[in-house]
Amino acid sequence: MPGIALVGIQWGDEGKGKVTDLFAEHTELVVRYQGGNNAGHTIVVGQERYALHLIPTGILYPHCVPVIGPGVVVNPQVLIEEMDSLEQRGVDTARLLLSGNAHLIMPYHLELDKVTERRLGKNRLGTTKRGIGPAYADKAARIGLRVQDLLDPKIFSAKLEVAIKEKNLLLTRVYGRLPLDRTQVEEEYLAYGERLVSHITDTNRVVQRALDDDKTVLFEGAQATMLDLDHGTYPFVTSSNPIAGGACVGGGAGPRDLQRIVGISKAYCTRVGSGPFPSEADPADAELLVEAGDEYGTTTGRKRRCGWFDAVAARYAARLNTLSELVVTKLDVLSAFDTIKVCVAYEYEGERFEDFPPNQTIFNKCRPVFEELPSWSEDITGARSMHDLPKEARSYLETVESLSRTPVSWASVGPGRDQIVDTKAGGA
């Protein structure tokens, strides 16, 4: 039965980890379909807090098989460290499956990510410096090394030879860095292969069989719609396709396998790294959002830029992902404000844009058209039903629903597993 895709509709960190965990309770398979360890997904279970970067959120439920699909780029060292750290906390990682077709992040990708950002200077993207862009670039150039190459030392050695020669020239001649030692890289990676061998498989077969057997398969997006390589705020994007369409490409399913597409949005908006952000708040409001929402990156610890809910971007994401519903997270954070702003449109040279502007010049320079709504001051972290929410909070959810033209099915009121409100159950 259903394939369900969970996608961020803003610039990442919407609370995908928490929401995937919520859905995973009734799911057999959780599949990561793109990105790598640039992601940071936080799940809070009782007193325990997990920050997952590469391993799908389903790992925390023993009944769930976590799958790293072919569209992901994998740093095997980070994967093994993440597995070890989960094992130390009593989480069994033996069920984890890793696609042989997933591409490997190599040491030269990390180097190149760093030196490219340095070279770009004030035009830098503010990447996570995890080697994501260079790894996807090699994939597209067809000189990437894949997880399955780790299982055949001869092939691995031959492919590495070709790739590392070119990278070393680039590193030494263009960037004035030291070359990487081929033998050392080869030995290191083949050892990772030995460690990971029992997890490596053709994950497409596993995913497709589960769907054919009427099992629920969750496709866990990393990053988000506005960071999508093709549809986001290029070049200030990541190098993969987080949108729902990417779940098919990178997860090994077909478009008709997706029956539910759940968009995840904060009740406000954040962004890490450079790039345009039309609904960015003024410094005082942004500071309060950082403080109330604890807005620091899960992966890099950077302070997140904060702004208000952007209805133009939400409508864009709703159509692009064909969202069936929205989950609104961090509603509790807005208790800190007397009034809440919502960006309902953009304005550029006297023209009003209700829909996403057709080119980057407008998007870069447009001004937000804000509407102001009443907030509430009650602590809502204990709310478990719509009846527990103040009327202003219910009304805010209705506004989000109407502006984004998408039904809101859940509202999250805290990081914990149980801090969730089913908006359609006995609700307003």
| Binding residues for ligand GDP (CB under 6 A) | 8, 12-18, 40-42, 44, 298, 329-330, 332-333, 412-415
Asked if residue 20 lies in contact with residue 10, where contact means CB atoms within 8 angstroms, the answer is no
Q: Amino acid letter at 368?
A: P
As given in the structure block, the two tokens for residue 31 are 């599949």
- Binding of ligand IMO at residue 126 (CB under 6 A)? yes
281 binding ligand IMO? (CB under 6 A): no
Is 208 exposed, middle or buried (CB count within 10 Å of its CB: 0-12, 13-18, 19+)? middle
Instruction: Residue 32: name its binding partner from Mg ion, ligand IMO, ligand GDP, none (Cβ under 5 to 8 Å by kind).
Output: none
Residue 73 and residue 81: Cα distance in Å, rounded? 16
Of 370, 366, 307, 369, the C-alpha closest to 333 is: 307
Q: Minimal distance in Å, beta carbon 412 to ligand GDP?
A: 3
The values of phi and psi at residue 333, to 5°, are: -65, -30
Q: Name which position in 3, 56, 273, 278 contacts ligand IMO (CB under 6 A).
A: 273
272 binds, among Mg ion, ligand IMO, ligand GDP, none (CB under 5 to 8 A by kind): ligand IMO
Among residues 37, 75, 128, 335, the one that binds ligand IMO under rule CB under 6 A: 128
Question: Which span sits near ligand IMO by CB under 6 A: 8-16, 208-216, 306-314, 387-395?
Answer: 8-16
| Least Cβ distance, residue 226 to Mg ion (angstroms) | 14
Residue matched to tokens 């089913």: 422
- DSSP H or E stretch at residue 270: strand 269-271
| Active-site residue, from 41, 109, 199, 231 | 41
Which C-beta is closer to ligand GDP: that of 200 or that of 229?
A: 229
What does the alpha-carbon distance between residue 203 and residue 23 come to, in Å, rounded to a whole number? 21
Which of ligand GDP, Mg ion, ligand IMO, none binds 157 (CB below 5-8 Å, type-dependent)?
A: none
Burial class (CB in 10 A: 0-12, 13-18, 19+), 173: exposed
Nearest to 313 by CA among 404, 197, 251: 404
Reply yes or no on whether 41 is catalytic.
yes
Burial class (CB in 10 A: 0-12, 13-18, 19+), 91: middle
Number of residues that bind ligand IMO (CB under 6 A): 24
Active site residue 113: no
Helix (H, G, I), strand (E, B) or coil at 73: strand
- Number of C-alpha atoms within 13 angstroms, CB side, residue 273? 24
Tell me if 415 contacts ligand IMO by CB under 6 A: no
Gap between the Cα atoms of 256 and 365, Å rounded:
39
Q: Which does 18 bind (CB under 5 to 8 A by kind): ligand GDP, Mg ion, ligand IMO, none?
A: ligand GDP
Q: In terms of CB distance, is 343 or 421 closer to ligand GDP?
A: 421
Nearer to ligand GDP, 14 or 28 (CB): 14
Establish whether the linkage from the previous residue to 70 is cis, with ω within 30° of 0: no
Footprint of Mg ion on 12-41 (CB under 5 A): 13, 40
| CB closer to ligand GDP, 39 vs 112 | 39
Minimum CB separation of residue 63 from ligand IMO in Å reads: 24
Q: Which is nearer to Mg ion, 268 or 337 (CB)?
A: 268
71 binds ligand IMO (CB under 6 A): no
For the chain, the residue count is 428
* Euclidean distance between CA atoms 198 and 65, whole angstroms: 14
Q: Among Mg ion, ligand GDP, ligand IMO, none, what does residue 126 contact (CB within 5–8 Å per kind)? A: ligand IMO
- Give residues in contact with ligand IMO (CB under 6 A): 8, 11-13, 38-41, 125-128, 130, 132-133, 222-224, 227, 238-239, 272-273, 298
In the complex, the residues that contact Mg ion under the rule CB under 5 A are 13, 40, 298
